[in-house]
Structure formats: C-alpha cells, structure tokens
Amino acid sequence: MKPPNVPVRNHEVTFGEDEIIVSKTDLKGRIQYVNTIFMRVSGYSEAELLGEPHSIIRHPDMPRCVFKLLWDTIANGQEIFAYVKNMTKDGSFYWVLAHVTPTFDANGQVVGYHSNRRCPDRQQVEFFANLYAQLLAEEQRHSEWRTGMASAAHILEQTLVQQGMGYEELIFAGLAGRT
C-alpha cells in the first residue's frame, strides 16, 4: 500500500536509544505484527502495514545484495544482524541496527520471522552508508538486476575478505573510517 511516487526526502527520522522497533512477518515477508514504535517512526498506521510486504519501508539507497544476504541467512534458520536504511511513508529515512531471527514451530520448521531494530551506532552508519552506496552503484551499473546484484555481492565478499571477517563481524567491528 506504499503511496505512489513518494519522493525520497533527505530528512532523517530518529528514535530513542531505549526504544526497539519490532515487527513479525510470515515466510513471504508479509507483515503480521508491528509495535507502536514501528508505526510512529515509519509514519504508517497498523492498518496500512498489516498484510503488506516488509519491503513497504525499503529505501532505494539499500542494495539488493544486502537483502539477499539477509533473506538467505534467515531462510536457512539462522539469525542475522544488519545495518538497514528504511524509508518512511513521507519519503524520509531512518537507519536501524536490525536483528532478524526465524520463528520456529513446535516441529522446528521456520514459520516466520521476527525483527528487533535498535538505534544504530552513528559511526557505523557512516561506514555502511558508504559501503552500501558502492554496492548500489555496482548494481545499477548493470542493465539486468540479477547480474548487478551478483556483481555487488562479489564486491561485498571482497570487502569482507579484505577486512578478514564475516558480515556480522563487520557489523560489530567499529570500522568507521576504514576502507
């Protein structure tokens, strides 16, 4: 139900360090639950969010390869931490440190996903904004989106190799200012 042609605004929305944005989705990423902080920060009402794809808040500055990494990880039953830039209903943005976990049924099958999002470390936001801009530019350099996503994923993998760590280690490494 994203409003059509919402212009991207260069206006950041923030939330308190003691606040946690929470959402739950089904296996296809359709929103099943949101807390009041999610609604306040995103600018959407509960009625506008429930049943919608979580991508309703996807900011165009986010590279596809990061979401592919996220979805591949949680679909395999693992948790992931990620820095994510989201977009509000009015086109503003907000950064989060997301912790996404699969939800399991009594038989151990993944039945959905749960995400808690906290205030991000501002130095890490700067680092990831620069990294994501590089990845997005690589994705957009290709006419076919799958090729672009694969090429950007390769750059991300090279970055991790250069840093000598995995993606989640990079999230917590405090690498602001390093390239």
Tell which residue, 54, 117, 120, 110, has the closest CA to residue 78: 110
Q: Determine the pLDDT at residue 5.
A: 75
Exposure string over 124-148, b if 16+ CB within 10 A, otherwise e = bbebbeebbebbbebbeeeeeeeeb
Please report the beta strands in 38-143, taking only residues with DSSP state E, as ranges in sequence order.
80-87, 93-104, 110-118
pLDDT tens per residue across span 27-63: 999 999 999 999 999 999 999 999 999 999 999 999 9
> 102: Cβ–Cβ under 8 A, 6 or more apart, which residues?
74, 75, 77, 78, 79, 110, 112, 113, 114
What domains are defined for the chain?
A: 21-172 (3.30.450.20)
Residue 76 has pLDDT above 50, yes or no: yes
The amino acid occupying position 34 is: V
pLDDT tens per residue across span 131-143: 999 999 999 999 9
Whether 88 and 14 have beta carbons less than 8 Å apart is answered as no
Cα–Cα distance between 56 and 60 in angstroms, integer? 11
- Burial of 17 per CB tally in 10 Å (0-12, 13-18, 19+): exposed
Token match 């009625």: residue?
47
pLDDT tens per residue across span 9-33: 999 999 999 999 999 999 999 999 9
Please report the beta strands in 21-127, taking only residues with DSSP state E, as ranges in sequence order.
21-25, 31-34, 80-87, 93-104, 110-118
Q: Determine the pLDDT at residue 85.
A: 98
pLDDT tens per residue across span 79-128: 999 999 999 999 999 999 999 999 999 999 999 999 999 999 999 999 99
Q: Which residue has better confidence, 173 or 46? A: 46
Cα–Cα distance between 131 and 1 in angstroms, integer? 30
